[in-house]
Amino acid sequence: MALPEAKGACAMIPILFQDDACVAALKPCGVAAVPERAGDDACLSAQLSQQLGRRVYPVHRLDKEVSGVILYALTPEAHRFLNGAFERRLVRKTYLAVVHGTPDPAEGAICRPLREFGSGRMGVDDARGKPSETRYRVLQGRPGFSLVELQPLTGRRHQLRAHLYSVGHSIVGDTRYGAPELRKGFPRLMLTSSGIALSLPSGQLLELAGVIPADFSEAARTLCGIDL
């Protein structure tokens, strides 16, 4: 399901789902999910609040460089419910990434403990890191690149980026993780949240899948030869 991507603070944010308790939106690449400083009205939560005419409550986050599906609560009660679902790992999150090279085997799990270093980067530390697990599956391979589906089973900061870098397949366009010679020439980080599945406060099962922003699809095709 290819979708247009909102660009900038004045554009309408695409709404993927909304009920009385929560709203799922399409986060643009380059927009922070929550305020980065006091009075930050360019972040997604502020934009959504203005667009909907009501307060929104963050329940999870995406890195500023990451696009895709993100969920906000609309009431304090729903915020508590959804926070609990994330804490108990009752939410299935799916991502798509274009990586350098091709992971081998083509399907598996990266189980490597992560911790934050002084630079703010996350890295593998077998002695002091927190348990972290990412499942992956190669969907397409092209010379030099692969399209990979990812499911994080834990929620560490920069987990997907750090895990893929740790196994020698950094995400295309990642200026923080990966060899310097691979970081240039790409318009964005090639990582997007493509789906989410969880039970809502109403009891309804919300299942969004295959959500792909247009700029992600275009960059994958023109720069990496991958058609989505």
Average pLDDT over every residue of 18-42: 93
What span, in angstroms and rounded, lies between the C-alpha atoms of 59 and 11? 23
Q: Would you say 122 and 116 are in contact if contact means Cβ atoms under 8 Å apart?
A: yes
Query: What is the model's pLDDT at position 185?
Result: 81
Query: What is the model's pLDDT at position 5?
Result: 54
Establish how many alpha carbons lie within 13 A of residue 92's alpha carbon, considering only the half-sphere containing its beta carbon: 11
Query: What is the model's pLDDT at position 3?
Result: 59
Residue 63 bears catalytic tag: yes
Confidence of residue 119 (pLDDT cuts 50, 70, 90): confident
Residue 14 pLDDT greater than 60, yes or no: yes
Q: Give the residue with greater pLDDT, 67 vs 5.
A: 67
Q: Give the residue with greater pLDDT, 120 vs 147.
A: 147
- DSSP single-letter state for residue 129: P
| Backbone phi and psi for residue 194, each to the nearest 5 degrees, phi listed first | -100, -10
Catalytic residue, chosen from 40, 63, 215, 227, is: 63
Helix (H, G, I), strand (E, B) or coil at 145: strand
Confidence of residue 1 (pLDDT cuts 50, 70, 90): low
What span, in angstroms and rounded, lies between the C-alpha atoms of 98 and 92? 20
String of DSSP letters for 16-43 = EEE-SSEEEEEEPTT--SS-SSTT--SS
Query: What is the model's pLDDT at position 184?
Result: 76
Query: What is the model's pLDDT at position 120?
Result: 83
User: Per-residue pLDDT tens for 35-71?
Assistant: 988 878 899 999 999 999 999 999 999 999 999 999 9
User: Per-residue pLDDT tens for 179-214?
Assistant: 888 877 889 999 999 999 999 999 999 999 999 999
Q: Would you say 112 and 166 are in contact if contact means Cβ atoms under 8 Å apart?
A: yes
Lowest mean pLDDT among 19-28, 84-93, 111-120, 148-157: 111-120
Q: Give the residue with greater pLDDT, 38 vs 152.
A: 152
All residues at 6 or more sequence positions from 194 whose CB lies less than 8 Å from its CB, including other chains? 68, 69, 94, 95, 96, 149, 209, 210, 211, 212
- Number of helices and strands (H, E) in the chain? 4, 14
Query: What is the model's pLDDT at position 4?
Result: 54
Residue 106 pLDDT greater than 90, yes or no: yes
